[in-house]
Structure 1
Amino acid sequence: MEVMKLLPTGKDYLWGGTRLNKEYGKNINLSPLAETWECSVHPDGSSYVANGEFKGKTLAEVLKKHPNYVGTKNPNEELPVLVKLIDAKENLSVQVHPDDEYARKNENQNGKTEMWYVIDADENASIVYGFKHQVTSEILRKAINGGNLDKYLQSVKVHKGDTYFVPAGTVHGIGKGILIAEIQESSNITYRVYDYNRIDKNGKRRELHFDKAVNVMNMKTAVDIKRKSRMIRYYPGCSREIICRCKYFETERIQVTKAFSFSVLSSSFQIVLCLDGYGEIQTMDDEQKSLRFIKGETMFLPAGLGRCLILGEVEILKIRC
C-alpha cells in the first residue's frame, strides 16, 4: 500500500482561463483550461495514478480492484467525493444542483453538495449565493426573460482564503477572477438557470434547464454568509483548521512550517491537495517510503495506510469522509 500521486482530467469550458497550466504546471493541452478533476473516479473524467505499482491506471480502475482502499465508512465501496481546481476567467453560469433523492431518481447519479476554498481572487471578485428575497418560479422566469435576474440574486464579495459551503438546492455562480479548490459529492449534474446569453465554440447558446432547476431549488432568502472567523490550532511545525465538515466530507486546511504527522485509518481514505510550496510525504510503516510533491499536486492515501509525515513548507487541504 502506498501514496498515489494523481494526474487530473482537464475541462475546457468556455469561461476558463490559463492559470492552471501557467501557475500550477498542469501541462494539459486545452485552451481555455477551466477545471482539473484532481481526484475523481467519475465516468466523465477519472484521474490517473502517476507513480508506483498502479502508474498509468485510472483511480477508478485501482479502487475497483481494491475497494478496501476507500474504507469501511463508505459501504458502497465507491469514492464518494470529487476534488477540483477551478479557474474562472469569466463568470460561470447561474446554476443549481439537485440533492441525492432527486438526482438518484431522475439522473441515476448522486446529488451535488459542495464547498469552495478561495485560493485567489481579484480585488472586486464576487460569487452568487442564493436569493436576496424569497421568489417563485413565475418571478424567476419573468426575470430571466426580462434580463433582470441579478436584482433577485445575493452577490457576495470574496477574498483569498474564504470558504463557502454550497448545499444542494442553493442557486449559485462563481464569478470571474476567482481561483477555487472545490470539494463535492461525486456527481456531474448541473442545472443552468442563466448563462449571460453566451455563445459556445459551436456558435450556439448553452442549454438551460429551468424546469428541472426550479424543482430542486431553495427559493427562500439565502442565509447570511458574511466572512466568519475560524478556529486555527497551532502545533509545533504546523497549524490546522477545519474549514468544512458535513455529512459527505471533512476538509482541513493545514499550513506546514516544518512537519505534520497524521494517521490514515482503515475507516476512510484521505486526499491531500497542495495549494502552495513543496514538500515530502513519508509513510511510517515497516517499509518506509517517501514521495515529493509541489504546488498544484494531489495525492490519494488509501484507507489503512497508517502513520504519515509531511515535511516541508507547504499549504495543503486534507479531505476525508
Structure 2
Amino acid sequence: MKRIYHIEPMYKSFIWAGRKLIDRFGIDTDLPNVGTIYCVIALPGELDNIVRETGEPLSAFYASNRELFACSDEVFPVRMTITCNEGFQSYQLHPDDAYALAHEGCRGKVSGAVTLDDEGHVGTWLFGHKVASLEEFKDCVERRDWNRLFDTLTVHDGDFVHTPAGVIHGGNGAGAVSATFGTNGDITYRFFDNDRDDPTRPLALDDVYACVHFPEVPFRAEPPHPVQVPGMKLITYHDVDGEYVALRMKVEGETSFGYDSFLFITCVAGAGSVGGTPIGLGETLLVPAGFGSFELQGDMDCIAISYHAKEA
C-alpha cells in the first residue's frame, strides 16, 4: 500500500539574503538570514532533505525505494526551492549535465522561477548576453562593461522564467519571494561577485568561458496560463522530459487530482490536506508514482515538481 511522505525542509544563509523568508514562513532558526528554503533536493553529504517517516536522506530514500518514483534515472533528478534575493547575488551561470559530470562529478542545472506574489510589479532583469564572441565576452568581463555585455528581460509578477544551462544571469534582487524548480544540481560558476573577498564564493572564469553560449540561447518570460477545474486553479509552468515538470495548485475548497509520476507538493500559502494528509505553510509532501487520484482540500496555494525521463 502506497503512502504519502513528509519531506523536511533545509534552510541556507547567503550573503545576499535577508529575513523575509524567516518571517513569512515562521522559520525557527539560528541563522542570521535565510536566502533559500530547500523543499526538495538530494545532494549526498551537502544538501539532502530528510524523509520524516524513515529518517533517511532523500538521496538514499530514492535509491532504496525506486518503485515509489518509477524513474529510470540512477540519481535523483529534480529540486524545488523557495528563494528571496534581497541583495546583490553575483553574475553567474550554471553548466549543463555533460560539463558538470565531466568536471564536478554531478549533474548540471537548468531551472525556472516564478514570483509567489502577484502585486503588479514589473522588473527588468539582467539576463543573457548580447555579444558576438568569446573574445568580446572576456573583454566585457575584464572591463566590467556590464551594459555592453548583458541583455535584459522584462518580467511581470507571475511570469515564469526558465533558465537553460549556460545562460548568464544574476545581480541585484528585488526582494521578491519566488518558487524555483530545476534539475538536482547546485553548481554555480561566477564571473563577478561584487568584489567580495569570500573564499566560499570563488570566481570560476575559465568554467564560465567554457559554458557560455554564442549566440545566446533563446529565453523569455512566460505569463501563466491557469486552467480552472472545480475547486482549483492549475498552472503548468514547464514540462520537458529530462528537465522537470513545474506546477502550481491554487486550491479553494475541494478537488480531485491524479498524476502518473511522483509529485512533491509544497504549501506556500494557507493550509489544507493532500490525500487526507494535513499540509501547512512551508511543508512538503511526496505523493509516490502510481498513487492514483487523491483529494486536495483547503484554502491553499501549492507549488509542485515532478519529472519524466528523457527517452534515449
Deviation at 1:125, TM superposition (A): 4.5
For residues 109-258 of structure 1, the aligned pairs below 5 Å read 109-120=106-117, 123=121, 125-131=123-129, 133-173=130-170, 175-176=172-173, 177-200=175-198, 206-221=201-216, 223=218, 225=220, 227-247=221-241, 248-258=243-253
Give the structure 2 partner of residue 287 of structure 1. none
Range that drifts further, 77-86 or 140-149 = 140-149
**Residues 113/306 of structure 1: CA separation in 2 closer, same or farther (3 Å cut):** same
Q: CA RMSD in A?
A: 2.2
Alignment counterpart, residue 78 of structure 1, candidates 69, 75, 78: 75
AA at the equivalent of 1:302: P
Determine if contact 1:4/1:49 at 8 Å carries over to the other structure: yes
SS in 2 for 1:78: coil
Residue 48 (1) aligns with residue 50 (2): yes
Q: Deviations over 1:155-214 (max 9, x none)?
A: 3343331210111111112641232211111111111121121244xxx69311111111
Q: 1:105 to 1:41 in 2, by over 3 A?
A: same
Residue aligned with 1:241, SS: strand
Contact 1:125–1:175 (CA under 8 A) maintained in structure 2: no
- The Cα shift of 1:147 comes to 2.4
Aligned-pair identity in percent equals 23
Paired residue type of 1:14: I
Q: Deviations over 1:22-68 (max 9, x none)?
A: 10123232122111211111122111233xx32x3322232232121
Q: TM-score, normalised by structure 1?
A: 0.86
> What SS is found at the alignment partner of 1:258?
strand
Structure 1: state its 5+ residue gaps. Answer: 283-289
Q: How many residues align?
A: 302
Preserved contact between residue 121 and residue 158 of structure 1 (Cα < 8 Å): no
Q: Quick one: structure 1 residues 174 and 314, their matched pair in 2 at CA, closer, same or farther if it must change by over 3 Å? A: farther
Tell me how far apart the structure 2 counterparts of residues 142 and 153 of structure 1 sit (CA, whole Å): 13
Measure, in 2, the Cα distance between the counterparts of 1:213 and 1:20: 30
Per-residue CA deviations over 1:121-150 (Å, capped at 9, x if unaligned) read 89565432101x233232222222222223
- Tell me the equivalent position of 1:286: none
Q: Which amino acid aligns with 2:187?
A: I
Q: Is the 8 A contact 1:81 1:249 kept in 2?
A: yes
Indicate if the aligned counterparts of 2:163 and 2:219 stay in contact, CA closer than 8 A: no
